[in-house]
Amino acid sequence: MKMVNFYRILLFSALVSSLFLTSCKDDETPVPSEFPLAKAYDYKVYKAWNEKYMQLDRHASGNRPGPGPRALAYMGLSAYEAVVPGMPENNSLGQYFPGLNLPDAETNVEYYWPACVNESYAFLMKQFFPQMADAYPDLYNSIETTRNQLHQQYAAETSPEVLARSESFGRAVAEAVYAWEQSDAAGHNAFYNPQPAAYQPPQGPGLWQPTWPDFSAAVYPYWGDVRCFAMRYDDLLAKAPIPYSEQVNSPFYTQAMETYNIVNNITSNGPGAYDAQWRAEFWSDDLMNLTFGPPTRLAAIATQVVEIENTDLATCAELYAKLGMAMSDAGVAIWKSKYYYNVERPISYIRRVIAQQYPEAANWQSLLDNPLTGVSGITPAFPAYPSGHSGFGGAGGKILSSFFEYNAEHPGTYSFTDLCHKDRFEFLGTPRSFSSFKELADEDAYSRIPLGVHFRMDCEEGVRLGELSAQRVLSLPWKK
What pLDDT score does 423 carry?
A: 87
The CA distance from 223 to 131, in Å, is 19
**What is the pLDDT averaged over residues 1-23?**
37
Mean pLDDT score across all residues of the chain: 93
Give this prediction's pTM.
Answer: 0.92
What pLDDT score does 38 carry?
A: 98
3-state secondary structure of 90: strand
The CA distance from 57 to 298, in Å, is 13
What are the CA-CA distances from residue 262 to residues 17, 208, 245, 344 (Å)?
71, 22, 21, 19
Q: What percent of the chain has pLDDT over 90?
A: 91
pLDDT digits (tens, 9 = 90+) for 175-205: 999 999 999 999 999 999 999 999 999 999 9
The CA distance from 357 to 440, in Å, is 36
Q: Give the bridge partners for 417, in sequence order.
A: 433
The CA distance from 393 to 465, in Å, is 10
Residue 428 pLDDT grade (very low, low, confident, very high; cuts 50, 70, 90): very high
More confident residue, 132 or 33: 132
Q: How many of the other CB atoms lie within 10 Å of CB of 379?
A: 24
- Among 285, 292, 466, 456, which Cα is nearest to 380's? 285
Question: What is the amino acid identity at position 120?
Answer: S
Q: Is pLDDT at 326 greater than 80 in this prediction?
A: yes
For residue 432, the surrounding DSSP H or E stretch is strand 432-434
Which DSSP category does 343 fall into?
Answer: B
Q: How many of the other CB atoms lie within 10 Å of CB of 56?
A: 22
pLDDT digits (tens, 9 = 90+) for 266-284: 999 999 999 999 999 999 9
The CA distance from 68 to 72, in Å, is 6
Give domain limits for the chain.
34-182, 210-474
Q: Is pLDDT at 6 greater than 50 in this prediction?
A: no
What b-and-e string marks burial along 38-53, b requiring 16 or more CB atoms within 10 Å of the CB? bbebbbebbbbbbebb
Is the alpha carbon torsion for 273, 277, 280, 283 positive or negative? negative
What b-and-e string marks burial along 447-465, b requiring 16 or more CB atoms within 10 Å of the CB? bbbbbbbbbbbbbbbbbbb
pLDDT digits (tens, 9 = 90+) for 215-250: 999 999 999 999 999 999 999 999 999 999 999 999
What pLDDT score does 8 carry?
A: 37
The CA distance from 249 to 411, in Å, is 42
The CA distance from 70 to 325, in Å, is 7
The CA distance from 283 to 292, in Å, is 11
Cβ neighbours of residue 163 closer than 8 Å, sequence gap 6 or more = 112, 115, 151, 154, 155
Q: Is pLDDT at 27 greater than 60 in this prediction?
A: no
- Among 365, 375, 371, which Cα is nearest to 267's? 365
The CA distance from 348 to 261, in Å, is 15
> Between 3.40.1130.10, 3.40.50.11030, 1.10.606.20, 3.90.1150.10, what CATH number should domain 210-474 receive?
1.10.606.20
- Among 340, 256, 74, 82, which Cα is nearest to 182's? 74
The CA distance from 42 to 150, in Å, is 13
> Between 1.10.3470, 2.60.120, 1.10.357, 1.20.144, what CATH number should domain 34-182 receive?
1.20.144
Cβ neighbours of residue 146 closer than 8 Å, sequence gap 6 or more = 48, 49, 52, 122
Measured CA angle at 337 (ends 330, 378), to 5 deg: 85
**What is the pLDDT averaged over residues 368-381?**
96
